[in-house]
Amino acid sequence: MSNTPDASTHCHTRRLLLLGTATLAALAACGGGSGPHSTGATDRQIAVAPGVSLHVRDWPSARGDSDDVIVLLAGLGANAYAFDSLAPALARRHRVLAVTRRGYGSSGKPLPVNDANDMTYAPATLVADLLAVLDALQIERIILAGHSIAGNEVTLFAGSHPRRVRGLVYLDTTFDYLASGGEDEESERLSFEAPEPGPADLASMAASIAYARQINKHWWPALEANWRDALEVLPDGSVRPNTPPAIARAMGKAAHNFSPDYRRVRAPALVITVDPGTVGNLLPWLSPRSDPRIVADGLTFFDVFRPLRLADGERLAAALPGCTHLLIRNGFHSDFFIEYESTVVAAIDAMHWEK
């Protein structure tokens, strides 16, 4: 197969760039967890709107400083457990909160209204939810970090509530989903995407975890915790996502049709971009046993995607004058902050955040 991309390849590349390389099944959108250290978190349910509460995991600072707070927002489809490795590492110096946005995990799941103007899962609503969490916990100022799609919330929160932000961390986020084409619900499935789970993969929790292991680069304890919190166990022992499809569609549409306004951001920012480096780091479910034609398609896509991903990171950094831009090489979008945890923590702790 030729390595020269055609117009169709460019279209598909844009689609996966929009998804933040989330070619995993929805349940494995991101996550992590390593480690020898215990999570040590307190779990809270915090009301943010009538009938809606958010699940928050709260790690106290080992230094006892409750005013130095980092808030972690997971990627699309993931939940607070995604940070069960990174958060304890950061808690050596900071108090850390990991928040599950509405619609996922153990947070409330109001059904969207079948209306073109429905705001149930719009970024502005998610930002209002976060503000409600901070007010409920009487936290004035934070360092706000977001993975993947959460970059939308990071930028919007910083622009809307500048006095509540000491600094920002963009964990392999995309510059502008809307400018890249927005939501494309009709796009055909690509041959090299991760296989979707079949009935046998959802027959039990154990079967679903075995499936998840096959489509991830690594399998970490917190990735498993994230996975379990995204599933509902049915009476017969089988499992299914606990996020209703209507919510997943509404969240995806709202997120991918949002254009961040970086001009309103004033806080110091750390931008972390992941260079997959190899096709195995981009599409880890491909193996020597995969269909050679699918592997060839994946290699062609990798050759197009990699420079676009790097250029997108540069564009984001350029939109935030004075930011620190860190490039992590040979990482997997979904777990780089676990595999390269010490690098991520060191970069965050080296920043000169506002007091």
pLDDT of 38 higher than 80: no
pLDDT band at 115 (very low <50, low <70, confident <90, very high): confident
pLDDT given for residue 133 in this prediction = 98
Q: Tell me the pairing of strands 69-73 and 95-99.
A: parallel
Task: Say whether 301 sits in a helix, a strand or coil.
Answer: helix
Core vs surface per residue 169-205: b (16+ CB within 10 A) or e: bbbbbbbbbeebebbeeeeeebebbbeebeeebbeeb
The pLDDT tens digits for 243-274 are 999 999 999 999 999 999 999 999 999 999 99
Q: Is the dihedral of CA 246, 255, 127, 83 positive or negative?
A: positive
Residue 1 lies in a domain: no
pLDDT band at 30 (very low <50, low <70, confident <90, very high): very low
Residue 2 lies in a domain: no
Q: Which amino acid, residue 211?
A: Y
Q: Is 4 exposed, middle or buried (0-12, 13-18, 19+ CB in 10 A)?
A: exposed
How many other β-carbons are positioned within 10 Å of the β-carbon of residue 248? 17
Instruction: Measure Cα distances from 56 to 4, 100, 188, 267, 292 in Å.
Output: 47, 6, 36, 24, 44
The pLDDT tens digits for 140-164 are 999 999 999 999 999 999 999 999 9
The pLDDT tens digits for 340-352 are 999 999 999 999 9
pLDDT of 20 higher than 60: no
pLDDT of 117 higher than 60: yes
Q: How many independent structural domains does the chain possess?
A: 1
Q: What is the mean pLDDT of residues 170-186?
A: 82
The pLDDT tens digits for 54-76 are 999 999 999 988 889 999 999 99
pLDDT given for residue 1 in this prediction = 34
pLDDT given for residue 186 in this prediction = 56
Residue 355 lies in a domain: no
How many alpha carbons lie under 13 Å from residue 144 in its C-beta half-sphere?
25
| pLDDT over 70, % of the chain | 87
> Nearest to residue 24, comparing CAs of 292, 288, 199, 217?
217
The rounded mean pLDDT for the chain is 89
pLDDT band at 184 (very low <50, low <70, confident <90, very high): low
Core vs surface per residue 306-333: b (16+ CB within 10 A) or e: beebeebbeebbebbeebbbbebeebbb
Residue 305 lies in a domain: yes
pLDDT of 294 higher than 80: yes
pTM: 0.91
The least confident of 31-35, 47-51, 126-130, 132-136 is: 31-35
pLDDT band at 355 (very low <50, low <70, confident <90, very high): confident
| d(C-alpha 233, C-alpha 3), whole Å | 44
Domain span at 336: 7-350
The alpha carbon of residue 281 and the mean position of all alpha carbons in its chain are separated, in whole angstroms, by 17
| d(C-alpha 196, C-alpha 237), whole Å | 20
The least confident of 8-17, 33-42, 43-52 is: 8-17
Residue 287 lies in a domain: yes
pLDDT of 31 higher than 90: no
| d(C-alpha 159, C-alpha 264), whole Å | 5
Residue 127 lies in a domain: yes
Tokens for 10? 């460019």
The pLDDT tens digits for 188-227 are 789 999 999 999 999 999 999 999 999 999 999 999 999 9
pLDDT band at 114 (very low <50, low <70, confident <90, very high): confident
Q: Which CATH number belongs to the domain containing residue 70 in this structure?
A: 3.40.50.1820
Q: Is the dihedral of CA 338, 308, 127, 183 positive or negative?
A: negative
pLDDT given for residue 351 in this prediction = 97
pLDDT given for residue 283 in this prediction = 97
